[in-house]
């Protein structure tokens, strides 16, 4: 059983930690073997690399707006699918993207921890 029975609380913590570059919160919500598939280029990014790029300021999120989310729960696992709008800078260059995502959380150390994240960019509507 987890201290927080709601995987969406972990989801909110993840997004807030990215925007604030709150590395301790990010470390708390990400599993040690976390892997992100980057929404912009499809690169595989490990936890340490994500924390490093946020900590260095190379990547800054101005906003991540969850537009919708849905949770499916299984014993010890939660799959969150949703949609976001995000903006920020990478290497000083501004970016903005809308995406659909899948996040997989597992119960570890008494809380929900994110083990995998996959994003797919949604092209701007004409």
Q: What is the pLDDT of residues 26-41, one digit of tens each?
A: 999 999 999 999 877 8
DSSP 8-state assignment for residue 123: P
- Domain 7-122: give its CATH code: 3.10.450.50
Residue tagged 């994500």 (tokens): 50
pLDDT at 1: 41
DSSP-H helix ranges across the chain: 7-20, 23-29, 47-56
- Closest listed residue to residue 120, CA positions, set 100, 95, 102, 103: 100
Q: At a CB cut-off of 8 Å and minimum separation 6, what does 34 contact?
A: 46, 47, 50, 113, 114, 115, 116, 117
Q: What is the pLDDT of residues 56-89, one digit of tens each?
A: 999 999 999 999 999 999 999 999 999 999 999 9
pTM over 0.85: yes
């Amino acid at each position: 059983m987890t201290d927080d029975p709601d995987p969406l609380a972990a989801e909110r913590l993840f997004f807030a930690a990215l925007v604030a570059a709150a590395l301790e919160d990010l470390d708390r919500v990400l599993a040690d073997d976390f892997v992100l598939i980057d929404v912009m280029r499809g690169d595989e990014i490990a936890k340490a690399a994500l924390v490093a790029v946020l900590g260095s300021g190379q990547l800054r999120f101005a906003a991540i707006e969850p537009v919708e989310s849905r949770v499916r729960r299984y014993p010890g696992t939660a799959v969150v699918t949703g949609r976001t709008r995000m903006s920020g800078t990478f290497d000083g260059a501004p970016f903005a993207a809308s995406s659909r995502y899948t996040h997989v959380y597992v119960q570890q150390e008494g809380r929900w921890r994110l083990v995998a994240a996959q994003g797919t960019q949604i092209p701007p509507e004409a």
